Chains A and B, each alone.
Chain A
């Protein structure tokens, strides 16, 4: 069964450093998403992406964040200058036309 994959599974970085989280959505899916979940808290929407541009973004997704689909398979989330409060699980999701979103296993980001 096709699945969304994410790398790395765990990323440790120093505050102020840039990180890039990578995702490979399910092929033939059209919509891509990033969510995050701070430990013990709710899953929060960050951004959705369709047709090579951002469709929606939340208040969390400020200028420090960017997304890109550099080729036909990868979907990346970049945080330019990480803060302590960016420590969280980051989930990528994809969907075809329909509403069921398929989530990846997540990347645990730890900012020291």
Chain B
């Protein structure tokens, strides 16, 4: 499994754009990059998944450079409710069926009023 490295914590003011970068130097050709969000005392929640270039949904954008050795989760105009831990995961993508998710320590994002 490809190892991921992301900052332990980040602070941001409300209304700002937040970019969280994840390194995954040993990503395999068939691996996807997936981000989950976890609030205290809740289960992780899927945010976004991508393979290359850029993916955008109603919550976030995911930027993946051509070499795919890193990725950046972008949260536009964060609010206090975005305070959470954000996990970057690398592994088989859609259609892989049964696949265990391997979580790291994640990035604890604190949004300040």
Hey, which bits of chain A sit against chain B, CB under 8 A?
4, 30-31, 33, 35, 42-45, 48, 50, 55-56, 58, 89, 91, 93, 97-106, 108
Which of B43, B46, B95, B103 has the most CB atoms of chain A within a 10 A radius of its CB? Answer: B43
Which of B44, B93, B96, B106 has the most CB atoms of chain A within a 10 A radius of its CB? Answer: B44
Q: Which of B34, B96, B98, B103 contacts A42 (CB 8 A)?
A: B103
B29 sits at the interface (CB 8 A): no
Task: Report the contact-size class of chain B (Cβ under 8 Å from the partner).
Answer: 20 to 34
B106 contact set on A, CB distance < 8 A: 42
Please name 9 further chain A to chain B contacts, defined as beta carbons within 8 Å, in addition to the given A103-B42, A106-B42, sorted by A numbering.
Answer: A33-B100, A45-B100, A55-B98, A91-B44, A97-B95, A99-B93, A101-B101, A104-B43, A105-B43
Given contacts A42-B104, A55-B98, is CB(A99)–CB(B42) below 8 Å?
A: no
Distance A55 CA – B98 CA, assembled complex (angstroms): 7
Distance A99 CA – B101 CA, assembled complex (angstroms): 9
A102 contact set on B, CB distance < 8 A: 46
- Which 4 pairs of residues, A with B, have the shortest CB-CB distance? A103-B43, A45-B100, A43-B103, A55-B98
**19 chain-A/chain-B pairs, Cβ below 8 angstroms:** A33-B100, A33-B101, A42-B104, A43-B44, A43-B101, A43-B103, A44-B103, A48-B98, A55-B98, A58-B100, A89-B41, A93-B101, A99-B49, A99-B91, A99-B94, A101-B44, A102-B46, A106-B41, A106-B43
